[in-house]
Chains A and B, each alone.
Chain A
Amino acid sequence: MANKILVAPAPHVQTLQSTSSIMRDVVIALLPALVVSTVVFGVDVLCVTALSVLSCVAFEYLIQKFLVRGAVTVGNWSAVVTGVLLAFNLPASIPWWIVVMGAFVAIAIAKMTFGGLGKNPFNPALVGRVFLLIAYPVQMTSFSKVEGFAYKVFGDVNPDAVSGATPLAAYKQYGVLPENLMQDLTLGNMPGSLGEVAALALLCGFVYLLWRKVITWHVPVTILATMAIFALIVGAASGMETSLLWQFPLFHIFAGGAMLGAIFMATDYSTSPMTVKGGVIFGVGIGLITMCIRLWGAYPEGMSFAILIMNSCVPLINKYVKPKRFGVK
């Protein structure tokens, strides 16, 4: 016999979907948003993203090679995903050293200290972002004027857009919704961090991830639905006009990091529950906390805090929320 016969226990078929193909799909799903962001903010976007990705991959490589001294697994694209997500949480005008610092916190502290991919309890990119938000609040919230292609071409479509405050911050401060709400929010005609200006592009990514069976719809849809329903109730309770009342929930799910968080950050495998039921609890929790912070908290945006807080509940959810067992009533 030319080759040795292999023996292994059943099953003898394996899926073609691998860890790296999943991570690659996530990066692909983020590309439309990157394009829109580049159009809105200019080439800075690409520089920030590239720097963030490079630093994340480099930190992971260095730590695995020289500190852990185990297998180097940067080839699985997971550090790339963290890098892109971190960049999407930063403003385009951020100084370069803050990006590197964020990447260090994300990879070295939030990911590798816990044992790397699959073992981190908190979403690394979000830990990086929240660290930066607390350590460098000024740089993290000074959003450059819209200098990108869209602004240059369309000029003063929305004069508010150049004011430098994100729609959520503007709402927090003045209590008003943007005028051309849906147009601005879906097309990204507003200031903000890289990933939060392109809700439609993020939704395209969502559809791609669903099609590639990378994630299921439960967590994102529960988060957004909870936010919308909560906004509707609060709006109705505070006696909002009917014309504004329908805009209020939409504003909340399209503005800020809601889409990015719900689709790409809350669905991060190792920091979300293992069961569908658990995912729904997780999603409702994130939606509620986000809305509470947005409406009554000190920050205009609460998505990252909400996800991190719910991340901490995941082990508990996994322990107590079990899948529906076959044959058990």
Chain B
Amino acid sequence: MEVLLNTILTLCVLGVLSAVILYFVAQKFRVEEDPRIDEVEKMLPGANCGGCGFAGCRGMADALVKNDDISSLFCPVGGGDCMKAIAGYLGKAAAEKGPQVATVRCGGTCEKRPRTNEYNGVKSCAVASSLYAGETGCSFGCLGFGDCVKVCSFGAIAIDPATGLPVVDPDKCTACGACVKACPKLIIELRKKWPKNRAVYVSCVSKEKGAAVMKACKAGCIGCGKCAKVCAFEAITVENNLAFIDSQKCKLCRKCVNECPTGAIKLVGMDPLPKEPKAPAAPKPAAAPAAEKPAEK
């Protein structure tokens, strides 16, 4: 009995002693922090994706509280509403930015862009791209080893086994930009997000001349410039044999889609414009978007 009592007593004394020591240590080494940081952190989505450029939401909150001018800071996951709320709480002016979505600009599916060699090394785009052009004849296109998939914290991007290309789920994508940074071929772009996930974009980044593009891939942009000519909003520029549609200027009028001879301009979430009853040559351009449709879904 005495042993039991002694044991209990000793343990109790030890416990109290440790608690007292801990208390004083905690007091002595306490870090004074602006309590608003905690509040702002709570207002952030808590995804810790790093899309803002900080290691996590805590870092972002810290910067939001400490910097007087927060217009350069933006949380892509929370979006404009979240930033507005935080700015209101802190009494600062927030950056205005519309919603965006990651867009994969390569249409070189397995059938349109035949494989000419077989990569036998580590299945990583970064490793493969530092070695050589890739498994196909196109040195600009998607390598398909899924570095973008690995970095996505939201499960919003996946390689479609049928096409060998990554597909973004616009509902899950937060436009954090991790995939944009991970892609060594600079194929993924953050573009303006339209309602109902509608989009029109050039699904190719090849700067090769038209003939070389055609040789490597049947879905590439050959830089013919027909799309730029029909665009009424000056949204399309052709540079280095490559067309680019500025998503801020584009109004989704879809005229360019019908003009594109290779089907490199992708149309998502909308029906193409009706074909102009021009000439019997119509079936040809019509064939391209029709063939595209299954790949989009």
A binds B: yes
**Residues on A facing B (Cβ under 8 Å):** 4-9
Interface residues of B (CB under 8 A from A): 115-122, 127, 131-132, 135
Q: Are B127 and A6 in contact (CB-based, < 8 A)?
A: no
Looking at the assembled complex, report how far the CB atom of A251 sits from the nearest CB atom of chain B, in whole angstroms.
Answer: 45
**Complex: how many Å from CA A4 to CA B135?**
10
Chain A residues with CB under 8 A of B116: 4-5
C-alpha spacing A7/B127, complex, angstroms:
12
> Closest 6 interchain pairs by CB?
A8-B120, A8-B121, A5-B117, A6-B120, A4-B118, A9-B121
- Which has the most chain B C-beta neighbours within 10 Å: A6, A7, A8, A9? A7
A71 smallest CB distance to B (angstroms)? 16
* CA–CA, A15 and B132, complex, Å: 25
Q: Tell me the bound Cα distance from A5 to B122 in angstroms.
A: 16
CA distance A6 to B121 in the complex (A): 9
Neighbouring A residues of B135 by C-beta, 8 Å: 7
**Closest CB-CB distance, A209 to chain B, in whole Å?**
31
Q: Which residues of A contact B132 (CB under 8 A)?
A: 7
Residue of B nearest to A12 (CB): B120
* Min CB–CB distance A29 → chain B (angstroms): 34
Instruction: Find chain A residues with CB under 8 A from B120 CB.
Output: 6-8
**Which residue of chain A lies nearest to B118 when distances are taken between CB atoms in the complex?**
A4
Residues of B contacting A5 with CB < 8 Å? Answer: 116-118
CA gap between A9 and B120 in the complex, in Å:
8
Are B118 and A9 in contact, with the CB atoms below 8 A? no
Q: Is the pair A4, B121 in contact by a Cβ cutoff of 8 Å?
A: no
* B131 and A6 within 8 A (CB): no
Chain B min CB distance to A2 (Å): 13
* Bound-state Cα–Cα, A112 to B16, Å: 42
Given A5-B117, A7-B117, output 8 extra A-B contacts at Cβ < 8 Å. A4-B115, A4-B117, A5-B118, A6-B119, A6-B120, A9-B121, A9-B122, A9-B131
Q: Which residues of B contact A4 (CB under 8 A)?
A: 115-118
CA A9 to CA B119, docked complex, whole Å: 9
Question: B229: shortest Cβ distance to chain A, in Å?
Answer: 40
Give Cα A4 to B121, complex, Å.
15
> What distance in Å separates the Cβ of A215 from its nearest Cβ neighbour in chain B?
29
25 contacts between A and B (CB under 8 A): A4-B115, A4-B116, A4-B117, A5-B116, A5-B117, A5-B118, A6-B117, A6-B118, A6-B119, A6-B120, A7-B117, A7-B118, A7-B119, A7-B120, A7-B121, A7-B131, A7-B135, A8-B119, A8-B120, A8-B121, A8-B131, A9-B121, A9-B122, A9-B127, A9-B131
